[in-house]
Amino acid sequence: MKPATPSLQPLAGGDRIEVIDILRGVALLGILLMNMEALSGPLDLAFTGIDPHWTGLDYGVDAAVYVLVQGKFFTLFSLLFGAGFAIMAQRAEAARRDFTPFYLRRSAGLLLIGLCHALLVWSGDILVIYALVSLPLLATREAPQRWLPAMGVLTYLCAAAMMLLLGAVVGLAAQAQGEGGSMASAIAQGQHTVELQRQAYGHGTFVQAVAQRASDLGTALSGALIIGPEVLGMFLLGSWFARSGALAEPKRFERLYRRLRLGALPVGLGLMLLSALWVPYLAPGTFTPTTGAAYALSSLASLLMCLGYLAWIVHWHRHLRVLAPMGRMALTQYILQSLVCTWLFYGYGLGAFETLPRAWQVPFALALFALQVLLSHLWLKHFRFGPLEWVWRAMTYGRWPALHHPHA
């Protein structure tokens, strides 16, 4: 590869929209808090609601993370991906460059990085889904700006509709086959998968863990019918936030942000509490019409809370500037979280699998995040991009962008 030409290059630090980097930094903290249970134990025992095997303070922390964090920050991260897409499209148009080949290379690069992460590091990866869903996003490039909010919300709500439909289908199947036997079989299969993950990740070799990750990735991709619409919907909303100027010039949208802070967030929190009280836990391998409805409700709540969080972060972004370097290195730091945690918890690392109480997972995540923020500041004093951002840009532009600062 050759050094990049000035026609269409990665953004220099002074050309970036700072609030987007701050939002990415906060989103990475939320994602780490959400992922900690899945990084330190079996993947399929996480993301299932409030796990009844926890007690006391551990149960309270699990409930707080479920209600306040889970599903709210990966959606924010998705929204910011869509915002980045819109900004890149605008820059390509200004440079009179064909955006499609450039964007397809970017998506292919993200897919490769995501597959390496999912197979070699941690099977809870979201990047593969992002790369795949980025393709239908490209088809919306010419959509009128005013259509994007409705398109985004309706697409996102397709996931909730699919949950309701899936719950109804499973309920009918259970009635036809005999509900007790069907439920017992599903629970047994779920427990078997958890045990396979426990053996591979907690006690297995690296090769055994890779084999289990491949199986987990296949299962995750089979669930793309649910998560895909959520991700694409947030991509579309992010495109609107970028194209409209709501991120670059938030003062022009003070009424919108006020409504999100004082309206969307409280309503979303109320719906999330209702969902958690209705169905607090979904055992691995089980799904019913009731759980489908409860999780559809939680999906709607997560959308509203995500937008409310976004509005508060934008409101207080001047006080959160310390997180901007973290956001500039979001890809590197996201994967670094997985590398550190799997090295610490997995059997082929230090072997602390399922030993960290739920209550201690939060201070652990906060300490790790603080170290990542410090590392980001130190790294960006000498380099223009994070290491994975640099590689990804090389894949995207077909040329190696300059890594060091001119004065370095």
d(CA 338, CA 359): 20
Average pLDDT over every residue of 14-19: 77
pLDDT above 90 as % of the chain = 76
Residue 142 has pLDDT above 90, yes or no: no
Average pLDDT over every residue of 125-139: 94
pLDDT of residue 406: 72
How many C-beta neighbours within 10 Å does residue 407 have? 5
Residue 342, C-beta contacts closer than 8 angstroms, at least 6 positions apart: 39, 121, 122, 201, 349
Residue range 195-210, pLDDT digits in tens: 999 999 999 999 999 9
pLDDT band at 95 (very low <50, low <70, confident <90, very high): confident
pLDDT of residue 184: 66
In a domain, 234, yes or no: yes
What's CA 14's distance to the chain center, in Å?
Answer: 27
Residue 6 has pLDDT above 60, yes or no: no
In a domain, 161, yes or no: yes
Residue 8 has pLDDT above 70, yes or no: no
In a domain, 73, yes or no: yes
pLDDT of residue 287: 78
Residue 2 has pLDDT above 60, yes or no: no
Residue range 211-256, pLDDT digits in tens: 999 999 999 898 888 899 999 999 999 999 999 999 999 999 999 9
Residue 87 has pLDDT above 70, yes or no: yes
How many C-beta neighbours within 10 Å does residue 254 have? 12
Tell me the residue range of the domain where 92 lies: 2-400
In a domain, 49, yes or no: yes
Average pLDDT over every residue of 141-148: 93
SS (H, E, C) the chain: CEECCCCCCCCCHHHCCHHHHHHHHHHHHHHHHHHHHHHHCCHHHCCCECCCCCCHHHHHHHHHHHHHCCCCHHHHHHHHHHHHHHHHHHHHHHCCCCHHHHHHHHHHHHHHHHHHHHHHCCCCCCHHHHHHHHHHHHCCCCCCHHHHHHHHHHHHHHHHHHHHHHHHHHHHHHHHHCHHHHHHHHHHHHHHHHHHHHHHHHHCCHHHHHHHHHHHHHHHHHCHHHHHHHHHHHHHHHHHHHHCCCCCCHHHHHHHHHHHHHHHHHHHHHHHHHHHHHCCECCCCCCCHHHHHHHHHHHHHHHHHHHHHHHHHHHCHHHHHHHHHHHHCHHHHHHHHHHHHHHHHCCCCCCCCCCCCHHHHHHHHHHHHHHHHHHHHHHHCCECCCHHHHHHHHHHHCEECCCECCCC
Domain count, the chain: 1
In a domain, 407, yes or no: no
**Residue predicted with more confidence, 223 or 125:** 125
Average pLDDT over every residue of 106-114: 96
In a domain, 406, yes or no: no
pTM equals: 0.92
d(CA 188, CA 286): 9
Reported residue count of the chain is 408
Residue 183 has pLDDT above 70, yes or no: no
pLDDT of residue 404: 86
In a domain, 408, yes or no: no
Give bridge partners of residue 399 from the DSSP assignment. Answer: 2
* Lowest-confidence region among 83-92, 145-154, 163-172, 301-310: 163-172
In a domain, 135, yes or no: yes
Phi, psi of 302 (to 5 degrees): -65, -40
Residue 98, C-beta contacts closer than 8 angstroms, at least 6 positions apart: 92
pLDDT of residue 178: 59
pLDDT band at 378 (very low <50, low <70, confident <90, very high): very high
Sign of CA dihedral 332, 4, 96, 99: negative
How many C-beta neighbours within 10 Å does residue 248 have? 16
pLDDT band at 286 (very low <50, low <70, confident <90, very high): confident
Residue range 295-348, pLDDT digits in tens: 999 999 999 999 999 999 999 999 999 999 999 999 999 999 999 999 999 999
